[in-house]
């Protein structure tokens, strides 16, 4: 009785790695057409038959989603993770959470792991230090559905879900101006990140519309910890012309500003008013309770998850949508 030919037999005869043979026989798009045709023709000639049961097992749709965030300790990202995890559970998926810790090299290594795990799709927000986006482009090249949220790679054609950061900053500055403030500063993040560049453009637009000349940008490039806000305010308050209001691009930065003020007898809002773009649960517990531009994290999470599900179920993985959600002003006592 003639012995059945195996994948390893084909690989040995053609001097091709058995993994490449296996992928070619499954029609994997990553294998060159010339190589694929050669392998398929030889297998057919030798009477090789695919083990359909094993093939179905290997090709079974993954139910794992990878979620990559800059820092899981920050409220925006931890809340987002919680919402997406709930949605995933309701829809029969599990979520693996990764954090880059605002580090580009970490981010690249995490994506290698994600690709090795052959997940169903990825939802990601990039680190402060991410400039080169080629590691995310590899996901697209390998046909892995990808949705960016909040901080996005502008040069990659995939779905993105964001806050209208220009409008959020514009409305915050307008509110300052309506209360009589005229020396308004902005504590923000790296200008190459869409979130921070859009907010600063909104900040500048509001000032220019009102004819105000005072402009102050203080850029924080670290992890946005309370200490970073404290040190930023320490530096800002050493300037000869001090601001009478500050727009802060995260709760932790604003909490650091608040701490410096309380420790140095600076009255909020008498000496300086504060608005943070983020409604952390502790915002209302600061002294004084903080005025914020609240980001609709639930809407951000739901939209991101829905877009990923659409991409996973669609035969056309290249469909890309860009969706913006609106922040909401919550008035408290810091303005």
Cβ neighbors of 193 (< 8 A, separation 6 or more) are 126, 128, 130, 151
| Distance separating alpha carbons of residues 259 and 272, to the nearest angstrom | 13
pLDDT tops 60 at residue 226: yes
- Name the residue ranges covered by the structural domains of the chain: 7-58, 64-163+297-326, 165-294
For the residues 317-333, what does the mean pLDDT come to? 89
Angstrom CA distances, 43 to 13, 50, 200, stand at: 11, 10, 61
pLDDT for 9 equals 86
Helix (H) or strand (E) holding 196: helix 194-210
Classified by CATH at the fold level, domain 7-58 comes out as 434 Repressor (Amino-terminal Domain) (1.10.260)
Domains 7-58 and 165-294 share a fold: no
Residue 316 pLDDT grade (very low, low, confident, very high; cuts 50, 70, 90): low
Q: Which residues lie across from 325 on neighbouring strands?
A: 163
- 150 DSSP 8-state letter: S
| Distance separating alpha carbons of residues 177 and 132, to the nearest angstrom | 38
For the residues 250-258, what does the mean pLDDT come to? 95
| Distance separating alpha carbons of residues 30 and 60, to the nearest angstrom | 18
Q: Which of 44-53, 95-104, 167-176, 295-304 has the lowest average pLDDT?
A: 44-53
Q: Which residues lie across from 68 on neighbouring strands?
A: 98, 124
Q: Is 64-163+297-326 in CATH node 3.10.20.90?
A: no
Q: How far apart are the first and last CA of the chain?
A: 88
Tokens of 191: 């200008």
| Distance separating alpha carbons of residues 269 and 285, to the nearest angstrom | 15
Q: Is 165-294 in CATH node 3.40.980.10?
A: no
Helix, coil or strand: residue 197: helix
Query: pLDDT tens, 103-145?
Result: 999 999 999 888 888 889 999 999 988 988 888 988 888 888 9
Give the residue with greater pLDDT, 118 vs 226: 226
């Amino acid at each position: 009785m003639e012995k059945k030919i195996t994948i390893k037999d084909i690989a040995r005869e053609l001097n091709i790695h058995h993994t490449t043979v296996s992928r070619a026989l499954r029609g994997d798009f990553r294998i060159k057409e010339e190589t694929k045709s050669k392998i398929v023709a030889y297998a057919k000639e030798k009477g090789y038959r695919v083990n359909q049961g094993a093939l179905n097992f290997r090709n079974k749709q993954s139910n794992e989603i990878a979620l990559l965030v800059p820092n899981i300790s920050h409220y925006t990202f931890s809340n987002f993770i919680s919402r997406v995890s709930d949605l995933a559970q309701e829809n029969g998926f599990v979520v693996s959470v990764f954090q880059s810790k605002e580090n580009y090299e970490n981010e690249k290594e995490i994506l290698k792991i994600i690709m090795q795990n052959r997940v169903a799709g990825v939802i990601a927000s990039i680190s402060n230090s991410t400039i080169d986006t080629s590691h995310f482009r590899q996901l697209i090249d390998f046909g892995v559905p990808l949705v960016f949220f909040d901080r996005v790679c502008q040069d990659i054609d995939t779905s993105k879900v964001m806050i209208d950061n220009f409008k959020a900053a514009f409305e915050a500055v307008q509110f300052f101006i309506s209360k009589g403030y005229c020396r308004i500063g902005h504590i923000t993040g790296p200008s190459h990140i869409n979130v921070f560049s859009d907010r600063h453009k909104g900040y500048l637009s509001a000032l220019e519309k009102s004819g105000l000349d005072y402009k102050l940008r203080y850029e924080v490039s670290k992890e946005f910890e309370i200490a970073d806000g404290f040190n930023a305010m320490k530096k800002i308050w050493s300037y000869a012309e001090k601001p009478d209001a500050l727009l802060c691009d995260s709760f932790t930065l604003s909490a650091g500003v608040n701490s410096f003020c309380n420790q140095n007898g600076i009255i909020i809002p008498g000496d300086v008013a504060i608005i943070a773009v983020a409604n952390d649960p502790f915002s209302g517990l600061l002294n004084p309770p903080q005025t914020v531009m609240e980001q609709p994290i639930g809407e951000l999470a739901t939209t991101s998850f829905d877009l990923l599900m659409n991409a996973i179920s669609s035969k056309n993985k290249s469909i890309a949508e860009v969706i913006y959600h609106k922040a909401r002003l919550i008035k408290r006592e810091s303005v």
